[in-house]
Structure 1
Amino acid sequence: MNKEQELKNVVKERYAQIAGQGKAENAASCCGATSPSNKVYNIMMDDYTGTEGYLEEADLGLGCGLPIQFAKIQKGDTVVDLGSGAGNDCFIARHETGLEGKVIGIDFTPAMIQKARANAEKLGYVNVEFREGDIDSMPVNDSTVDVIVSNCVLNLVPDKQKVIGEIYRVLKPGGHFSISDIVLVGDLPEALREDAEMYAGCVAGAIQRNDYLRFIKDMGFQHITLQKEKPITIPEDILGKYLTEEEVFDFNKGETGIFSITVYAEKAGTKSEMPKINPTELRAGDCNPSSGCC
């Protein structure tokens, strides 16, 4: 078995366990995958409270942003959520796309698909469906999707360029995505990079921010916009599982930063009522012009 498949199996096994955990336990850990921290605060996730379409039972506390807040979903759109979990972001997207639209959630963990389908059935949603499959080989036809969203998932996939290629394939010309994810600035300590549990916990699988944005640009996406960015702090009791006390001190004062970012980009082409970019969304310093992403 190759390394990529081994990592996928680690993620699938761990997220099958997460499907049975509560939001509080997941939110106190690193994307729900590591042991909960004794510091009681959410490491990654943003607060969905008050968001239209929110279903508490479908919120497992696994996200690192609010991509749908920035996704410019219009009534009647077909929306795909990558790594849909128990369905939380799908149900919020459904509120935006309306009864005339359609939302498809994709997840490769059977326990998550089962949980999401049960939630959709309980709500009586006929225009939300969940498909089991890998997001680097989506069970979706070419050029059929208006909007793609994802919340803290691409960092879990070994071949991120392949996922970005799949996003480009399934989007309609003029379609777009808004994706929240974890990225790095600087190098992680080797112990964090090599640990499978930390990989499943989002951090060890993250790549450099400039590489992430470059992959999107190289695939041919246009109008790449960094819509939101926030630093992520890993509590010392979690870091202590992987690093010595001295290494934790050096890590916290060093040049390495772990960030949650929300990125927007469009596929080349045109479609009716194509969403417009608000130039004020890209704040100074959000995106490095030297990377060519802006």
Structure 2
Amino acid sequence: MTDNTSTDDADEGHLDSAEQRSAVRERYTRIATESSSCCGDDNSCNEASPDRSRELGYSDDDLGAVDGSANLGLGCGNPTAIASLAEGDTVLDLGSGGGFDCFLAAREVGTAGHVIGVDMTPEMVEKARENVEANDATNVEFRLGEIEHLPVADESVDVVLSNCVVNLSPDKPRVFREAYRVLRPGGRLAISDVVLTTELPTDLRADPTSVAACVGGAATISALEAMLTEAGFTDVSVEPKADSEEFIRDWDSERDLSDYIVAATIEGEKPATEPQS
């Protein structure tokens, strides 16, 4: 399918789709191979410290439950905390990174459940697969793929998670359509991400580093609500987290990014019965 957003985005001071995907892939390859981490582009964000993880919403129990290098400090929230996971659920994590949220989800769904992580970066998928062994997680697997083209069967998933990844996509409407496709009727979407509170300066919108660092590609609440609704989701909710400014301020040493973005929880449900056409 042709991406019709590329030309318009470039004309409006955004990166085109190819540039955006390249910037994101390069950043997360570097993170996977060099163990630098953290959203934002501040070079001081080079480890997933317990304090930083707690700021994102993880408990000490969460932090102690996962071994290996799964927690890269890349998120802007804790999507498993809002997902209401149940024993036996099949869970899909969009942009799964080192697998931290997948392993937390695996505890909730138990051996009767299954967790799938999808990431576009081969080096990140390799790291996550190594972490499967470190955590003896027999109900978790990782697949290479783009979140706009999920390597997942139709109506095979109960819950879709994501942690500060959808903002990286140059085609967010397609991401939500794909999430809707793979969800079973009655399934739900539970995402932590950043949203725009005001227009970004052009230098941030068009900067590959800013886009790859979870800033330049953020969308407004109203735009996200419209995308989710158009994809078919109901009970759509996009709720900003006021306290997120505390960690967003650390994402850039030269300016306060909390003037432009805020972390939010993004939720929606796939109707149990498809509407009649």
**Per the alignment, in what secondary structure is the counterpart of residue 50 of structure 1?**
helix
The 1:118/1:212 distance shift into structure 2, 3 A limit, reads same
CA RMSD between the two structures:
2.6
Structure 2 residue 46 is the aligned partner of structure 1 residue 58: no
Query: In structure 2, which of residues 21, 28, 38 is the aligned counterpart of residue 15 of structure 1?
Result: 28
Query: In structure 2, which of residues 239, 252, 261 is the aligned counterpart of residue 238 of structure 1?
Result: 252
Residue by residue over 1:168-191, the C-alpha shift from the partner in whole angstroms, topping out at 9 and shown as x without a partner, is 000000000100011101101111
**Per the alignment, in what secondary structure is the counterpart of residue 18 of structure 2?**
helix
The 1:37/1:109 distance shift into structure 2, 3 A limit, reads closer
The equivalent of 2:37 in structure 1 is 26
Query: In structure 2, which of residues 23, 36, 43 is the aligned counterpart of residue 35 of structure 1?
Result: 43
Query: In structure 2, which of residues 106, 111, 135 is the aligned counterpart of residue 123 of structure 1?
Result: 135
- Structure number with larger C-alpha Rg: 1
Structure 2 residue 217 is the aligned partner of structure 1 residue 205: yes
Residue by residue over 1:133-164, the C-alpha shift from the partner in whole angstroms, topping out at 9 and shown as x without a partner, is 00000000111100110000000011000000
Mapped contact 1:105–1:129 kept (Cα < 8 A): yes
Please list every run of 5 or more consecutive structure 1 residues that lacks an aligned counterpart in the other structure.
241-247, 271-294
Return the letter of the residue paired with 1:26. Answer: S
Query: In structure 2, which of residues 105, 108, 111 is the aligned counterpart of residue 96 of structure 1?
Result: 108
Residue by residue over 1:105-154, the C-alpha shift from the partner in whole angstroms, topping out at 9 and shown as x without a partner, is 00010111001101102222221100000000000011110011000000
TM-score w.r.t. the length of structure 2 is 0.83
Q: Quick check: which one's helix share is greater?
A: 2
The equivalent of 2:263 in structure 1 is 260
1:1-294 equivalences in 2 (<5 Å)? 3-22=16-35, 25-27=36-38, 30=40, 33-36=41-44, 42=52, 45-51=56-62, 53-55=65-67, 57-226=69-238, 229-230=241-242, 231-232=244-245, 234-235=248-249, 238=252, 240=254, 256-269=259-272
TM-score w.r.t. the length of structure 1 is 0.78
The 1:258/1:135 distance shift into structure 2, 3 A limit, reads same
Return the letter of the residue paired with 1:57. Answer: S
Per-residue deviation at 1:54?
3.3
Return the letter of the residue paired with 2:84. Answer: K
**Per the alignment, in what secondary structure is the counterpart of residue 92 of structure 2?**
strand
Per-residue deviation at 1:67?
0.6
Mapped contact 2:68–2:134 kept (Cα < 8 A): no
Per-residue deviation at 1:257?
3.4
Q: Distance in 1 between matches of 2:261 and 2:134?
A: 37
Q: Distance in 2 between matches of 1:237 and 1:86?
A: 20
Per-residue deviation at 1:226?
3.7
Mapped contact 1:181–1:262 kept (Cα < 8 A): yes
Please list every run of 5 or more consecutive structure 2 residues that lacks an aligned counterpart in the other structure.
1-5, 7-15
Per-residue deviation at 1:50?
1.8
The range that moved more, 230-239 or 148-157, is 230-239
**Per the alignment, in what secondary structure is the counterpart of residue 192 of structure 2?**
strand
The 1:126/1:236 distance shift into structure 2, 3 A limit, reads closer
Return the letter of the residue paired with 1:189. Answer: P
Residue by residue over 1:24-64, the C-alpha shift from the partner in whole angstroms, topping out at 9 and shown as x without a partner, is x524x51xx553369x9849844443227434621000010
**Equivalent pairs, count:** 252
Q: Distance in 2 between matches of 1:227 and 1:260?
A: 9
Residue by residue over 1:69-128, the C-alpha shift from the partner in whole angstroms, topping out at 9 and shown as x without a partner, is 110111111100000011100000000100001000000101110011011022222211
